[in-house]
Amino acid sequence: MSGTTQSRKAPERGESTSPVVLELRDLHVFYGAIEALKGINLTVRRGEVVALLGANGAGKSTTLRTASGMIAPREGQVLLHGERVDGIKSHDLVRFGIGHVPEGRGVFPRMTVRENLQMGAYRFKSVDKDDLDRVFTLFPRLGERKSQLGGTLSGGEQQMLAIGRALMGKPEVLLLDEPSMGLAPLIVQQIFEIIKEINEQGTTVLLVEQNASQALRMADRGYVLETGSVAMEGGAAELLSDPRVRAAYLGEGAA
């Protein structure tokens, strides 16, 4: 156990030997006749931050939706601790420890911040006071706005609320879909630091991001999707220095 956290601190990526938590095996996902995922393989080990990069429409959100049970794959498997969970509905999968913060946040607009967070603990009998305190410590801005309505929060605050609400469900794996979307650079910085903190407190993170350099700097490993397939994968530092990644996603050294 302690070895896990140590290997996280020393960035010997890819060498992590902690057990696999989430595994996607040869996933094929269709929207009608459109094949959005054409055989994705992906593993996430306990304690890792894994970044999922790719152009618009590459299938990143679809991958997360499949992992959290919002869509069922036509072929392939989703494994949680080695057990198949594909086909389980998202509301049941929450109980298996998957927390999904969907693209576009989706806070309950007419519930207060506190009610939103309480909804996050819906799967439990009662709201864990410590979890609530933890969220307010991670996001002091939410603490100042406990009785403000979700829909009246700023975009960044809504993102914080969405992440906070997912944390209230005590997820083992947190799936984050573009948490930096539409946020000012300073707030993006903050959100990334908080994600890192959440990870250090023991939550495994699968992070979809357009903000490739920042995501890779925080991640242990990364995957790059291209039109529904994995084009590249590897340690975060390795990807960060890969010329193809730099050209395509970091806007550098274009041919």
Partner 1 sequence: MSMKTSTPAESSRNESMAPSAAARLRKVHWYQEPRWRRLGALLALAVTFTLMTGEEGTTRDLFLALREDFTGPGLWLWVGIAVLVWVVREFLSDQASGAAKWTKRTASGPFAAVREAWGSNASLRVGVLLAGLALAVFGPLGLERYWQQVLVDQIAIFVLLTIGLNVVIGWAGLLDLGFIAFFAIGAYSAAYWTGALPVQPPVVLNNFLVIPIAVATCLVAGVLLGAPVLRLRGDYLAIVTLGFHEIVYLMAKNAESVTEGVRGVKVERFSIDLGFFSYEWKLDPMPYYWVLIGFTVLALFLFLRLEHSKVGRAWTAIREDEVAAAATGVNTVRYKLMAFAIGASTSGVAGVAYASKVGYFNPENFAILLSILVLAYVVFGGMGSIPGVIFGAAFLVWLPEALREWVDPKDRYMYLGALLVVMMIYRPQGVLPSRRRKRELEMAEAGIGGADATGPAEGRQQ
Enumerate binding residues for Mg ion (CB under 5 A): 61, 103
Residues in the chain: 255
Q: Are 59 and 227 in contact (CB under 8 A)?
A: yes
Counting residues that bind partner 1 (by CB under 8 A) gives 30
Which ranges of the chain would DSSP assign to H, the alpha helix? 2-9, 60-67, 90-93, 113-120, 129-138, 140-143, 155-168, 185-200, 212-218, 236-241, 243-249
Q: Which of residues 41-80 bind ligand ATP (CB under 6 A)?
A: 54, 56-62
**Residues 163, 179: contact at Cβ < 8 Å?**
yes
Q: With contact defined as beta carbons under 8 Å apart, do 172 and 21 qualify? A: yes
- Beta carbon of residue 108, minimum distance to partner 1 (angstroms, whole number): 4
Cβ closest to partner 1, residue 91 vs residue 244: 91
* Cβ 69 to partner 1 shortest distance, Å: 9
d(CA 87, CA 85): 6
| 88-147 binders of partner 1 (CB under 8 A) | 89-92, 94-95, 100-104, 106-111, 118-120, 122-123
Closest to 30 in 3D by CA, of 64, 59, 67: 59
Residue 244 binds which entry of Mg ion, partner 1, ligand ATP, none, CB below 5-8 Å type-dependent? none
Residue 229 binding result from Mg ion, partner 1, ligand ATP, none, given CB thresholds of 5 to 8 Å by partner type = none
Q: Which does 56 bind (CB under 5 to 8 A by kind): Mg ion, ligand ATP, partner 1, none?
A: ligand ATP
Q: Which residue has the tokens 């969970």?
A: 85
Task: Tell me which residues in 1-40 interact with ligand ATP (CB under 6 A).
Answer: 31, 34, 36
* Interface contacts to partner 1, rule CB under 8 A: 68, 70, 89-92, 94-95, 100-104, 106-111, 118-120, 122-123, 149, 151-152, 165-166, 169
